[in-house]
């Protein structure tokens, strides 16, 4: 009797840590229903592309990727599924213009994937073509009873809340991931314990706005402290908070708990009060700086990082100079700096004109990068001559003769392996002898 082989799925993930976490959920859901997984796209019966809708370069990469799949599909049977934020936000465009797509599923519809893929595969066996879409947003879905299927490593992502209620004018997340809802804390702790028993030494708690986490009497400070108390966990990180409601209890938890990392990613977006108001950020540059000063007064060794958008609608030279001045004043440890790119269905796309020339956006990005690079190099030099604790992650990117790990503040450290090396997940002390704007060098 011929035994039918398991359909093999290949999943490729683009974008943020939330998408990485979602791909782990998808693997778990499909494996429970008898699907297999392969790292080799050429051997796959199904290719799933988990997409991001936040920035233009993510869109460009994904469309390029779909062109590759179209060529592959001409030569053999293949079911192609597009998942995630781009599937949700551009559903009509993808359904009409990308005939190769068999399945579209938004971030709240992953429980339906086994049925959707089975239906598409069955239709394909019969020589038919069947498109299946699941794109409804949910007020309740948190996937809290699904244990993610994680690849081995040092860090485990745990999503503690989904959706967002902030409606920043440039951001598509409320329209692709729905309204804010928090997971039951007991399910988060169960997942953290499972990760610890599997050897993960670091947990990163995820949410579009984690500091607004609420479930019954639990707030985010209580949740992250409880996760950090779990045996076997050495470090706990989180991303991303919003400056508008950064609670004192969370700052205190970071200050006092030895396993909560002294690193806060605090998105700024702009230093111009006029632009911040247009963005719907609900704070001023002065209020942002006051929060930075307050955090540093309570957690003096904290590492602060940020996101900045250059060239938002109507941004003038004066607006940009306000951002540059704030970057110099704040002395943050590093920044992710991007050109504004309009996203369909956002408030900004409906209300404002994307009128800053692309070349000028690029010039402003380059100027800010130059300013921040100098600040980061200065901030990193303060570690020279000091001993820092490093969580080993593996080989350095540029050379297998060097090891690489991260400090408590999430700064990259590299060292020659012949000066001492340990397995990933090990905590080591490294003495820093040099520093650049990107890296600390240890021995």
Q: Higher-confidence residue: 233 or 244?
A: 233
State the distance between the two ends of the chain, measured CA to CA, in whole angstroms. 62
Contact between 170 and 343 (Cβ < 8 Å): yes
The answer to whether the CB of 233 falls within 8 A of the CB of 198 is: no
Beta strands 402-407; 387-395: pairing state = antiparallel
Closest CA to 110 of 138, 89, 134: 134
What tens digit of pLDDT does each residue of 40-69 get?
999 999 999 998 877 666 677 787 888 888
Tens of pLDDT, residue by residue over 172-210, are: 999 999 999 999 999 999 999 999 999 999 999 999 999
pLDDT given for residue 30 in this prediction: 97
pLDDT tens track for 135-159: 899 999 999 889 999 999 999 999 9
pLDDT score, position 202: 98
* Contact (Cβ atoms closer than 8 angstroms) between residue 256 and residue 34: no
Please list, in sequence order, all residues whose beta carbon lies within 8 angstroms of the beta carbon of residue 378, skipping any fewer than 6 positions away: 331
Backbone phi, psi, residue 222, to 5°: -65, -40
Q: What is the mean pLDDT of residues 378-384?
A: 97
Q: What is the pTM of this model?
A: 0.94
Residue that has been written with the tokens 């690849």 in this structure: 151
**Which pLDDT score is estimated for 57?**
66
For residue 254, the model assigns a pLDDT of 98
Q: What is the pLDDT of residue 1?
A: 36
State the chain's mean pLDDT as an integer. Answer: 93
117-135: average pLDDT? 88
| Separation of alpha carbons 128 and 124, rounded Å | 5
3-state helix, strand, coil split of the chain in percent (to 5) is 40, 25, 40
Distance (Å) of CA 433 to CA 225, 256, 396, 403, 436: 33, 29, 17, 15, 11
In the predicted structure, residue 162 carries a pLDDT above the cut 80: yes
* Beta carbons of 219 and 246 less than 8 angstroms apart: no
Per-residue pLDDT tens for 362-376? 999 999 999 999 999
Tokens of 386: 């000091």
Evaluate if residue 98 carries a pLDDT over 80. no
Distance between CA 336 and CA 436 in Å, rounded?
Answer: 17
State how far the Cα of 329 lies from the Cα of 286, in Å rounded to an integer.
11
Q: At what angle do helices 317-330 and 285-298 cross, to 10 degrees?
A: 10
Alpha carbon distance 262, 274 (integer Å): 31
In sequence order, what DSSP letters do the residues of 353-412 get, joined into one string? ---S-HHHHHHHHHHHHHHHHHHHHHHHHTTTT-EEEEEEEEE-SS-TTEEEEEETT--E
Mean pLDDT of 337-355: 94
Across 272-295, average pLDDT: 98
Q: Which residues lie closer than 8 Å to 410 by C-beta, 6 or more apart? A: 237, 261, 263, 303, 305
pLDDT for 16: 85
Domains of the chain: 8-134 (3.40.50.12160), 154-260 (3.30.750.210), 262-381 (3.30.750.200), 387-442 (2.40.50)
75 Ramachandran zone, left/alpha/beta (phi>0; psi -120 to 50): alpha
2 pLDDT above the threshold of 50? no
- Tell the residue number behind the tokens 């998808």, with chain if given: 26
Q: Which of 275, 198, 252, 255 is nearest to 230 (CA)?
A: 198
């Amino acid at each position: 009797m011929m035994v039918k082989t398991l359909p093999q799925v290949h999943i490729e993930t683009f974008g943020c840590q939330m998408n990485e976490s979602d791909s782990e959920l998808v693997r778990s859901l499909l494996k429970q229903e008898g699907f297999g997984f392969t790292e080799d796209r050429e051997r796959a019966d199904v290719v799933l592309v988990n997409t991001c809708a936040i920035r233009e370069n993510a869109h460009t990469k994904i469309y390029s990727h779909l062109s590759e799949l179209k060529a592959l599909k001409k030569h053999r049977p293949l079911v192609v599924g597009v998942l995630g934020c781009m599937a949700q936000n551009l559903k009509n465009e993808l359904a009409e213009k990308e005939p190769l797509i068999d399945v579209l599923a938004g971030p709240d519809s992953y429980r339906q994937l086994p049925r959707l893929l089975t239906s598409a595969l069955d239709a394909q066996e019969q020589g038919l073509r069947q498109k299946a879409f699941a794109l409804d947003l949910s007020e309740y879905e948190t996937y809290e009873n699904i244990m993610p299927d994680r690849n081995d490593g040092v860090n485990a992502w745990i999503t503690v809340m989904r959706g967002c209620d902030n409606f920043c004018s440039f951001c598509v997340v409320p329209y692709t991931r729905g309204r804010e809802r928090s997971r039951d804390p007991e399910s988060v702790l169960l997942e953290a314990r499972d990760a610890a028993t599997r050897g993960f030494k670091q947990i990163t708690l995820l949410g579009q706005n984690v500091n607004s986490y609420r479930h019954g009497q639990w707030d985010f400070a209580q949740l992250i402290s409880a996760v950090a108390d779990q045996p076997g966990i050495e470090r706990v990180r989180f991303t991303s908070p919003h400056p508008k409601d950064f609670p004192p209890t969370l700052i205190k938890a970071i200050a006092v708990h030895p396993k909560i990392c002294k690193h806060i990613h605090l998105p700024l977006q702009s230093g111009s009060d006029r632009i911040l108001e247009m963005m719907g950020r609900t704070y001023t540059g002065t209020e942002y700086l006051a929060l930075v000063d307050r955090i540093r007064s309570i957690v003096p060794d904290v590492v602060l990082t940020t996101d900045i958008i250059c060239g938002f609608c109507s941004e003038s030279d004066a607006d940009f100079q306000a951002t540059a001045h704030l970057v110099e004043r704040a002395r943050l440890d590093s920044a992710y700096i991007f050109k504004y790119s309009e996203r369909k269905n956002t408030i900004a796309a409906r209300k404002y004109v994307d009128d800053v020339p692309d070349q000028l956006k690029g010039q402003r990005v380059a100027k800010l990068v130059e300013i921040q690079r100098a600040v980061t190099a200065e901030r990193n030099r303060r570690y020279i001559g000091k001993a820092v604790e490093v969580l080993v992650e593996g080989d350095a990117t540029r050379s297998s003769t060097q090891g690489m790990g991260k400090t408590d503040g999430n700064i990259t450290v590299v060292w020659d392996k012949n000066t001492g090396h340990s397995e990933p997940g090990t905590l080591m002390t490294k003495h820093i002898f040099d520093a650049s704007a990107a890296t600390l060098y240890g021995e």
